[in-house]
Amino acid sequence: MQIIVLGAAAGGGFPQWNCNCPNCAGLRAGTVRATARTQSSIIVGGDDGHDWALLNASPDILEQIRHTPALQPNRGLRDTGIASVLLVDGQIDHSTGLFMLRERGVPMPLWCTDPVYEDLTTGNPILKVLGHYCGVDRKPVPLDGTPFTLDKVAGVQFSAMPLTSKAAPYSPHRELSVDGDNIGLTLTDTASGRKVFYAPGLGARTPEVFAAMAAADCVMVDGTFWTNDEMIRMGLSKKTARDIGHLPQSGEGGMMDWLDELPKSVRKILIHINNTNPILDEDSPERAELTRRGIELAYDGMHITL
Ligand code: MLT
Ligand code: MN
Ligand code: ZN
């Protein structure tokens, strides 16, 4: 199984267009040692090397495709390496890239849960709009862990579990979450049995999620915020990380504590990193702490082979 990170940042990307937080301003000015990142998306492929599953469709997808030769296999006058799309939620940063794929000649196979399908056909009716272009061939993601495979993506099996996180702000269930607003995915290489757990939006620890992480060879999990009150302290929001469905890395019961409890053999990677997060600064003490704990940061173009 191959994974390529297309975008490792949270909504807004890094630097964010209107942001002058220390990271964004420092990156622009060249005074902070950090790497720009586009918005949250990965691709997963199996044996053939040509047909990939797109996990989340970011608004930056066209730029991401330009930087990813694997997604343009050039087998015909019109071609793409994106064989299927799978969404973990209906957030803007994970779904609006679908509009950019509208020139497809045939409907896009699209896997999402029922609540996400509802959000993307009502509150933010992307899928209805797309019906006037290529259309989507929607397939429901089972929430009970039943394994499923994606069209043309050979050698990788998927399974989903509901997460405690948050639906998008436009969703009627933003403050009253339902199972399936957000999912965590286990990706299994069917030949080797090796597994990756992927959850870019993960708001709380549960025994089920911990078990899925402990059973994986590699976890790629919510790296949005360092502290719970990061956005409040910077004067950028009135909401905490937990309020918007993201478990912070630091503090008691934070993501670092959780990752420390995993078996030592598990590779630990943070993804969906918000531009305010001090870990983006390669010279920060927070980044040094992650390194000390053996936790990696995803970056655009990162390649993972399992
Ligand atoms: C989130 O994950 O909380 C969202 O990315 C926020 C956003 O897209 O504005
Ligand atoms: Mn997001
Ligand atoms: Zn910023």
Which of 38, 56, 92, 116 most suits a substitution to test ligand 1, by most atoms within 8 Å of the C-beta?
92
The domain tally of the chain equals 1
Which of 39, 41, 60, 91 most suits a substitution to test ligand 1, by most atoms within 8 Å of the C-beta?
91
The string of pLDDT tens digits covering residues 36-74 is 999 999 999 977 789 999 999 999 999 999 999 999 999
- Residue whose Cα lies nearest atom 3 of ligand 1: it is 244
Strands 136-140 and 108-112: parallel
CATH number at residue 37: 3.60.15.10
Main-chain dihedrals φ then ψ at residue 41, nearest 5 degrees: -170, 145
The string of pLDDT tens digits covering residues 187-234 is 999 999 999 999 999 999 999 999 999 999 999 999 999 999 999 999
* 143 contacts 180 by C-beta, under 8 angstroms: yes
Separation of CA 258 and ligand 3 centre (Å): 26
Burial classification of residue 132, based on how many CB atoms lie within 10 Å of its CB (0-12 exposed, 13-18 middle, 19 or more buried): exposed
The string of pLDDT tens digits covering residues 260-281 is 999 999 999 999 999 999 999 9
129 Rama sector, left if φ>0, alpha if ψ -120 to 50, beta otherwise: alpha
Strands 41-45 and 52-55: antiparallel
Query: Which residues lie at CB < 5 A from ion ligand 3?
Result: 16, 19, 21, 24, 275
For position 47, what pLDDT does the model report?
73
DSSP 8-state class, residue 67: T
For position 46, what pLDDT does the model report?
79
Q: How many residues does the chain have?
A: 306
- Residue whose Cα lies nearest atom 1 of ligand 1: it is 11
Range of the domain at 93: 2-305
Going by C-alpha positions, the residue among 126, 207, 202 that lies closest to residue 166 is: 202
